[in-house]
Amino acid sequence: MNSKENNHSHHDHEHDHAHSHLPSDPELRVKAIETLLLSKGLIDPNTLDELIDTYENNIGPQNGAKVVAKAWVDNDYKKRLLEDATSAIRELSYQGRQGENMVVVENTPEIHNVVVCTLCSCYPWPVLGIPPTWYKSDEYRSRAVREPRKVLSEFGLNIDSKVQIKVWDSTAELRYLVLPMRPIGSENMSEAELAKLVTRNSMIGTGLPENVK
């Protein structure tokens, strides 16, 4: 595992052949198909935007939220998740491309974890859905490593100076998921109720779970 607070070391991504007719990267292939369908008037752009928003913010992150909630209530599952995240996540039937090799990093009162992909936009689709636009931006990919505290503050997340920030650089071979700290006051909540508190950004490290109302 490669973590760092402000220093970026080069890592290699596994890329398919660049000279094939169709893009080999799944995201590029989807974009090519989307462009073709839009140009032929076969899909409505507004409907497409709504569909993408649903998968980006609801369906995908709900899977990760269930993983987190189970870890909060089941110490044995949490132990398995931290030791072998891929297998533990598979126990809940969340698996597939972009999630073959997972590592879960736990937030504690002393450590706050943030996930980035500095060379492209590697992202654990089975548990988080479609990556948000900002995650793929050049600005986030570079600044999250160089000045993570400032970037987090721009997300509205101000981390105490005594807390260490660890930045985890995802690759084509390894994807990360943050296990956020369980919210205070949630001791009597059910697993399903807890899952509703887990936000997508809290599993990337750019946010926290919702507060208990």
CATH of the domain at 169: 3.90.330.10
Kindly name the residue from 93, 117, 137, 142 that is annotated as catalytic. Answer: 117
Contact 176, 127 (CB under 8 A): no
Asked if 170 is an active-site residue, the reply is no
pLDDT the model gives residue 59 = 58
Count CA atoms closer than 13 A to 42's CA, side-chain side: 7
102 or 95, which is more confident: 102
Query: Which band of pLDDT confidence, cut at 50, 70 and 90, is reported for residue 45?
Result: confident
**Segment 146-161 mean pLDDT:** 97
96 or 138, which is more confident: 138
Kindly name the residue from 3, 122, 142, 161 that is annotated as catalytic. Answer: 122
Question: Is residue 193 in some structural domain?
Answer: yes
Contact 71, 81 (CB under 8 A): yes
**pLDDT tens, 108-153?**
999 999 999 998 888 888 899 888 989 999 999 999 999 999 999 9
Number of domains in the chain: 1
pLDDT the model gives residue 134 = 94
Kindly name the residue from 20, 93, 121, 186 that is annotated as catalytic. Answer: 121
Take residue 170 and report the two structure tokens written for it: 């995802």
Question: Is residue 114 in some structural domain?
Answer: yes
Question: Is residue 212 in some structural domain?
Answer: no
Question: Is residue 91 in some structural domain?
Answer: yes
- Give the predicted TM-score (pTM) of the model: 0.74
Asked if 24 is an active-site residue, the reply is no
Query: Which band of pLDDT confidence, cut at 50, 70 and 90, is reported for residue 65?
Result: very high
For residue 62, the enclosing domain spans 23-204
Question: Is residue 13 in some structural domain?
Answer: no
DSSP 3-state of 181 = coil
209: pLDDT strictly greater than 50? yes
Question: Is residue 73 in some structural domain?
Answer: yes
23's enclosing H/E stretch is: none
Question: Is residue 15 in some structural domain?
Answer: no
Total residue count of the chain as it appears in this document? 213
CA distances from 17 to 21, 24, 25 (A): 10, 7, 10
